């Protein structure tokens, strides 16, 4: 992927022991901290030499023209500079990574439809594998064009870990190589999307003072012109409303029935998620940008935070200790019929099934 000053020529995965053989004397390689695994993710950034007018790049173990003939060369993308106005999308969401038999159809549908109401035009998901119903749903959304599925068959090349601790979770590489997919998504959308939202599939980055993300970003961008943004995460507990009969047989969590937010324990450092301007990012991690051209602003939770429906982090919390949060209900009138329509289109709604 090309850049004006530096080119990220490779965001990918190395066998850790081989890494020292890579000749990088004009380049700068940045290994991530995903230590302890057999494979490590890394970005290789090389200076963009205008005189060279390079169109393809490769990584070789020796600088040798003859050996280079047998190398696989990758085309440098993003070489042509485009105008700021020419964005195909204003808001793109990047989800990494779909794996195992994840089949949380109801939550994914509600999340996608919620994002649509919030002004997102494009959702990208890196797919290693998924459950049968989610497969149908994603195919339906892909046909329509709202969702783009990027194949990520990392399990065919190594044994990816489901976690970040090799001792605890085993495997050859942290969390299905998430750091590579996130960087890939940012670079892929550098000239396609004004903003990119980096979050997990069970999270919604939601505005609390504005109806939509464009409205919120307009205000934030005016206040902080050089900024991407970082957002606080929150967690929810079940409350038991919005148990719609038609959704009863749809697999997955009903996020509309989760309205209690677990207030984070601020004594422990709390993770952030991000909305970034992809052109300002050189390298990203999960909770922060590692190298960028602009500045970062931590957005206060009353302006924007993450709706994250999952099991509670802190055990034994009483209802009184939880904060009620009905933000999703504010979109109910459009959200519920839109979710129904999407499920029906994918053949997943119970009265939509012709069996
Ligand atoms: C660089 O390559 C492009 C396409 O291959 C060509 O059109 C252009 O003239 C070249 N520029 C220079 C400075 O060689
Ligand atoms: C390139 O690959 C071919 C086929 O595997 C092999 O015969 C040849 O020796 C290789 N060339 C170099 C320079 O390694
Ligand atoms: C993106 O936002 C700009 C300015 O608000 C608007 O003019 C444009 O139509 C939007 N593009 C898309 C694809 O919605
Ligand atoms: C996800 O990847 C699996 C494994 O390659 C594939 O069978 C499935 O069709 C993919 N799903 C989608 C929605 O692309």
Contact predicate 53/29, CB 8 Å: no
Question: Ligand 2: distance of its center to the CA of 66 in Å?
Answer: 9
Q: According to the model, what pLDDT value does residue 7 have?
A: 52
- Give pTM, 2 decimals: 0.81
153, 173: one domain: yes
| Closest of 196, 9, 12, 214 to residue 95, by C-alpha | 196
Residue ranges in the chain modelled with pLDDT below 50: 1-6, 17-25, 232, 234-238, 313-314, 352-355
214, 297: one domain: yes
Q: According to the model, what pLDDT value does residue 1 have?
A: 38
Q: Tell me which residue range forms the domain holding 334.
A: 84-345
Residue that is last in its domain, among 41, 75, 109:
75
62, 151: one domain: no
Question: Ligand 3: distance of its center to the CA of 200 in Å?
Answer: 25
Quick check: bond before 35 cis, omega within 30?
no
62, 208: one domain: no
Q: According to the model, what pLDDT value does residue 222 have?
A: 83
Domain-located, residue 352: no
| Closest of 167, 37, 169, 41 to residue 96, by C-alpha | 41
335, 294: one domain: yes
**CATH number (domain holding residue 276):** 3.90.550
What whole-number distance in Å separates Cα of residue 279 and Cα of residue 261? 34
65, 201: one domain: no
16, 119: one domain: no
Query: Is 121 a pocket residue for ligand 3 (Cβ < 6 Å)?
Result: yes
Residue that is last in its domain, among 29, 44, 75:
75
Domain-located, residue 355: no
Q: According to the model, what pLDDT value does residue 104 have?
A: 93
Residue that is last in its domain, among 50, 75, 100:
75
Domain-located, residue 3: no
Q: According to the model, what pLDDT value does residue 178 have?
A: 87
Query: Is 146 a pocket residue for ligand 3 (Cβ < 6 Å)?
Result: no
Domain-located, residue 303: yes
Query: Is 212 a pocket residue for ligand 3 (Cβ < 6 Å)?
Result: no
> Which residue lies with its CA nearest to atom 14 of ligand 4?
149
142, 62: one domain: no
Structurally, the chain folds into a number of domains equal to: 2
44, 107: one domain: no
- The atom number, within ligand 3, closest to the CA of 194 reads 1
Q: According to the model, what pLDDT value does residue 182 have?
A: 87
What whole-number distance in Å separates Cα of residue 257 and Cα of residue 156? 38
33, 169: one domain: no
73 secondary structure, DSSP code: P
> Which residue lies with its CA nearest to atom 2 of ligand 4?
129
110, 18: one domain: no
Q: According to the model, what pLDDT value does residue 248 have?
A: 79
Which of 126, 129, 131 for mutating ligand 4's site (highest number of atoms within 8 Å of CB)? 129
Question: Ligand 1: distance of its center to the CA of 53 in Å?
Answer: 6
> Which residue lies with its CA nearest to atom 10 of ligand 3?
90
209, 183: one domain: yes
Contact predicate 284/186, CB 8 Å: yes
| Closest of 101, 95, 201 to residue 155, by C-alpha | 101
- Tell me the Cα Rg of the chain: 21
Contact predicate 213/199, CB 8 Å: no
């Amino acid at each position: 992927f090309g850049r004006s000053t530096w080119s990220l020529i490779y965001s990918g995965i190395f066998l850790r022991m081989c890494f020292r053989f890579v000749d990088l004397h004009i380049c700068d390689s940045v290994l991530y901290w995903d230590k302890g695994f057999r494979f490590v993710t890394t970005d290789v950034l090389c200076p963009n030499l205008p005189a060279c007018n390079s169109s393809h790049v490769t990584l070789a173990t020796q600088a040798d023209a003859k050996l280079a003939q047998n190398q696989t060369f990758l085309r440098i993308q993003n070489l042509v500079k485009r105008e700021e106005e020419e964005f195909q999308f204003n808001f793109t969401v990047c989800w990494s990574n779909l794996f195992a038999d994840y089949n949380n159809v109801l939550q994914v549908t509600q999340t996608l439809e919620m994002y649509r109401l919030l002004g997102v035009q494009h959702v990208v998901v890196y797919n290693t594998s998924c459950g049968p119903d989610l497969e149908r749903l994603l195919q339906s959304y892909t046909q329509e064009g709202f969702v783009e599925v990027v194949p990520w068959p990392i399990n065919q090349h190594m044994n990816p870990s489901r976690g970040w601790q090799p001792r605890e979770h085993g495997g050859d590489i942290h969390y299905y190589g998430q750091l590579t997919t996130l960087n890939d998504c940012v670079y892929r959308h550098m000239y396609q999307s004004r903003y990119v939202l980096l979050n997990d599939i069970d999270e919604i980055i939601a505005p609390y003072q504005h109806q939509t993300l464009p409205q919120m970003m307009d205000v934030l961008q005016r206040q902080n012109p050089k900024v991407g943004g970082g957002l606080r995460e929150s967690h929810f507990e079940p409350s038991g409303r919005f148990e719609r009969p038609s959704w009863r047989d749809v697999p997955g969590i009903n996020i509309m029935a989760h309205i209690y937010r677990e207030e984070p324990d601020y004594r422990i450092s709390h993770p952030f998620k991000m909305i970034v301007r992809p052109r300002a990012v050189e390298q990203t991690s999960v909770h922060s940008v590692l190298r960028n051209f602009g500045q970062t602003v931590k957005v206060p939770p009353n302006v924007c935070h993450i709706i994250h429906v999952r099991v509670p982090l802190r055990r034994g919390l009483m209802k009184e200790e939880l904060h009620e949060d009905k933000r999703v209900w504010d979109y109910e009138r459009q959200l519920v019929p839109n979710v129904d329509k999407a499920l029906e289109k994918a053949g997943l709604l119970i009265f939509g099934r012709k069996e």
